[in-house]
Structure 1
Amino acid sequence: ASVPFVIAASRYPVRELNEKPQPSMLRHLTSKIKSTGPVTVAEYMREVLTNPVTGYYVKNNMLGPEGDFITSPEISQIFGELVGVWILSEWMGAGQPKQLQLVELGPGKGSLASDVLRVFGQLRSVLGGASVSLHLVEVSPALSRLQAQNLTGDSSQEADAEDEPVYRSGETAAGLPVSWYRRLDDVPTGFSIFVAHEFFDALPIHKFQRTEKGWREVMVDIDPDKEDQLRFVVAPSPTLSSSTLVQADESRSHVEVCAEGGVIVQQLARRIAEDGGAALIADYGHDGTKTDTFRGFKGHQLHDVLSSPGSADLTADVDFSFLRRMAESDVACLGPVTQRTFLKNMGIDSRMQVLLRNCSDPSTRKQLISSYDMLTNPSKMGERFHFFSLLHHSRLAKPKKVEGLTLEKRSPAPLPVAGFTKLKFS
């Protein structure tokens, strides 16, 4: 006889639905669970967010004031401008290679990419004759159309075949080529700066709970008393994930592990090690200290993660200590540092002073001050978001001493890494 699943402790109570569920996604999930048994939280997230027919990201435009959440690039263009300066700084620190691929994972509305490209246009003399191209990794057809409109106007075209690696392509008004991909693997090799802003927090997580019998995986099951509702349960025996993903020296009683995030950060690390470049990851996160961070957002409010699946965004804080373990054998890792620290190190205060000096409209000045507060205030986004970077090992290498050369002729010291080091601005 099969061992029954145990209802999770009070941390995971049976969920009550406060609103009418979306029939299609709930029906799909309950059918799957009836056929194969309880599903992992990772499989639940994957289905709810990216199911090709009814997934939240596939069929919704969820960004902005009218959506379910708003991101830093939507709050102020200063955010994207400073990220653009960081990208140029790392390109210069790498020796100004002739090719620069800007690759963004989960580009939202395209606002961040648009702000970065505007900085590139303003600093065209710095880029010189470098060949610049934009590559967007996006699974949502709805969002890719919105990105194309914002970045290329009416110039983008969809691929003829569905299995083409580049499923959409176009050009910006300045003639810069833009390509869309469903997978990071499909992005061409070459020197690349990767940006992932609020990307890793939406990747599926496995949840594990320490029990008297060892680590057990938290699963999603149907409530036997109410078949139109879901609940959390704890697996009665070890799963492959609980046996392989939890660290042997783990001291927490509850752990979330994003295996897919680990795979992606390893891909980024290998590409940087082989082709040069860097990656900047900005997200909700912690450095291996938090436990239960799985939550939903709908209409800018917290939403029950098991209620009305497919109608709300699901997210979990990024464990940067896990990303570091996955990447550090191939690349150097910096951070995490808080968003407040990163932006201030990048010179947001100096930029704000310039904007306020040149602004005479009271309402615009008020908006600038409000957006600055939202981005940097510790009680708002300032300390909830963190920045983490992957760099080629040579980027931080100490100068080589060559026998017979004077001090002035030795290899120059590497440039400091902007954002993670406080820079002086005149």
Structure 2
Amino acid sequence: MATAGDPVPPPSDATGTPLPTDTPVGRIIAGRIAHDGPMTVGSYMALALGHPVHGYYTAREPFGAGGDFVTAPEISQMFGELVGLWLAVAWDEAGRPARPLLVELGPGRGTLMADSLRAMRMLPGLLDMADVHLVEQSPRLKAAQAAMLSQCGLPRPVTWHDDIDDLPADRPVLLIANEFFDALPVQQLVRRPDGLWSERMIDLDPDRPGHFRYGLSPDPSPMAQVLTQRIAGAPLAAVPPGSLAEVQPAAIAIAGRVAARIAANGGAALIVDYGHGLSAPGDTFQAMRAHAHTDPLIGPGLADLTVHVDFERLAAAATAAGATAHGPVGQGRFLGRLGIGARAERLARAAPDGTARAAIATALRRLTAPDQMGTLFKVLALTRATTPPPGFAPVPGFDDA
């Protein structure tokens, strides 16, 4: 009998085609299922992404043209610059509190923080008293971030943490989380004919050796208590049988903890991600490999696994913790209100040739156009103040256009 965590030897395939379970993480997952039974989608996602040796973020390079996806900071410096200016203005409008923490959750290669720091220098005093703290678990990515930020001329060393709870207490936070929440484990629930909700599970497929398949837990799931009471504008009780709903317990908890820090100590946070502004049913569990969608049950550890973020649920968690939630607004509208168009024009005037100017125009479109990142990607702000911060209130001349 297999023991928990032992790899299961993958079945042979006469054609030589790699089987879905035949990756280091896949064999570990298969071994655990063989020993313990089907696992939740959240457990599968956490292992595939975060296994300390073979997980996707531990062992692979996900970012850029040679990776599996491109994030907004990798598209253009304009994104990080405007985020940095937003955080600097938030600090200034809060009365310039002493010793703020500049925090990023899931900093990737450090590009966003580096661009933000450069823009923050426009407001004298902030970087002299602020300390940079990054929440990152991957040793490989920590090394990349260290190399990137070593060039930023910070007055004090960067500090890394594995968890947000490890951040110093009793200090204001200026926090950014870009494409962080979408990678947190999701629990998927399916409405049963009797009105209860059962957990969607992942199992070994007995009819196709070497493959995973979806199934349902026979018992009602306690995770149903975390569902919002309304989905897509309808009462939860009115959701028809067979509907699938998603819950990210870790995302809800982290949003609440960030908001509690802001409510207690001051500061502000920006959450940027793709998702829906209102809680809605549907299966958004997806995999991305080599810039194309693929089956999340094939080759765990070789592809990025994500879900669409439920911004309504994050905002509710933040409000319950004592902060004010602003938005979400579409990324295109947010960046437009902050003046990304004018910034692109200045960069274009300084560009050395037409090729560089075209690249700037392409980047601007990718970040802001409704059919690119402008609408699907959304921005949520958390502050103490109830007055909408920059980017969340209409701007004459822009919103009227």
TM norm. shorter chain > 0.5: yes
2:362 counterpart residue number: 370
Paired residues for 1:5-404 under 5 Å = 19-21=18-20, 22-121=22-121, 123-125=122-124, 127=125, 131-152=129-150, 172-189=152-169, 190-213=171-194, 214-242=196-224, 244-248=225-229, 249-250=235-236, 251-252=238-239, 253-286=243-276, 287-329=278-320, 330-392=322-384, 395-396=385-386
CA shift for structure 1 position 174? 3.9
What is the DSSP-based 3-state SS (H/G/I as helix, E as strand, rest coil) of the residue aligned with 1:297? strand
* Deviation per residue, 1:276-315 (Å, 9 max, x gap): 1111000011021351111000000001000011110000
* 2:197–2:221 Cα contact (<8 Å) kept: no
Query: Against the structure 1 CA distance between its residues 50 and 260, is the aligned structure 2 distance closer, same or farther, given a 3 Å change threshold?
Result: same
CA distance in 1, matches of 2:377, 2:246: 18
CA distance in 1, matches of 2:207, 2:265: 56
Q: Which moved more, 1:285-294 or 1:374-383?
A: 285-294
CA distance in 2, matches of 1:316, 1:29: 20
CA shift for structure 1 position 23? 3.2
2:390 counterpart residue number: 418
* 1:262–1:323 Cα contact (<8 Å) kept: yes
CA shift for structure 1 position 128? 6.2
* Deviation per residue, 1:256-295 (Å, 9 max, x gap): 1000101111110111111111110000110213511110
CA distance in 2, matches of 1:137, 1:59: 18
Q: Select the structure of larger CA radius of gyration.
A: 1
TM-score, normalised via structure 1 length: 0.83
CA distance in 1, matches of 2:153, 2:193: 62
* 1:346–1:422 Cα contact (<8 Å) kept: no
* Deviation per residue, 1:11-62 (Å, 9 max, x gap): xxxxxx9844443212211111121111111111011110112111111121
**What amino acid maps onto 1:295 in structure 2?**
Q
What is the DSSP-based 3-state SS (H/G/I as helix, E as strand, rest coil) of the residue aligned with 1:281? strand
CA shift for structure 1 position 359? 2.7
What is the DSSP-based 3-state SS (H/G/I as helix, E as strand, rest coil) of the residue aligned with 1:104? strand
**What amino acid maps onto 2:43 in structure 1?**
E
What is the DSSP-based 3-state SS (H/G/I as helix, E as strand, rest coil) of the residue aligned with 1:235? strand
**What amino acid maps onto 2:95 in structure 1?**
G
CA distance in 1, matches of 2:338, 2:138: 31
Query: Against the structure 1 CA distance between its residues 27 and 129, is the aligned structure 2 distance closer, same or farther, given a 3 Å change threshold?
Result: closer
| Identity fraction in percent | 38
* 1:98–1:130 Cα contact (<8 Å) kept: no
Query: Against the structure 1 CA distance between its residues 225 and 285, is the aligned structure 2 distance closer, same or farther, given a 3 Å change threshold?
Result: same
CA distance in 2, matches of 1:146, 1:86: 25
What is the DSSP-based 3-state SS (H/G/I as helix, E as strand, rest coil) of the residue aligned with 1:378? coil
CA distance in 2, matches of 1:285, 1:259: 16
* Deviation per residue, 1:184-239 (Å, 9 max, x gap): 11111201111100000000000011120221111101101223110000112212
Query: Against the structure 1 CA distance between its residues 215 and 128, is the aligned structure 2 distance closer, same or farther, given a 3 Å change threshold?
Result: closer
**What amino acid maps onto 1:275 in structure 2?**
N
Unaligned stretches of 5+ residues in structure 1: 1-16, 154-171, 397-413
**What amino acid maps onto 2:158 in structure 1?**
V
* 1:100–1:130 Cα contact (<8 Å) kept: no
CA distance in 1, matches of 2:64, 2:166: 29
**What amino acid maps onto 2:392 in structure 1?**
F
**What amino acid maps onto 2:294 in structure 1?**
H
CA distance in 2, matches of 1:128, 1:218: 47
* 1:195–1:281 Cα contact (<8 Å) kept: yes
TM-score, normalised via structure 2 length: 0.88
1:3 counterpart residue number: none
CA distance in 1, matches of 2:126, 2:145: 27
CA shift for structure 1 position 100? 2.1
CA distance in 1, matches of 2:341, 2:228: 41
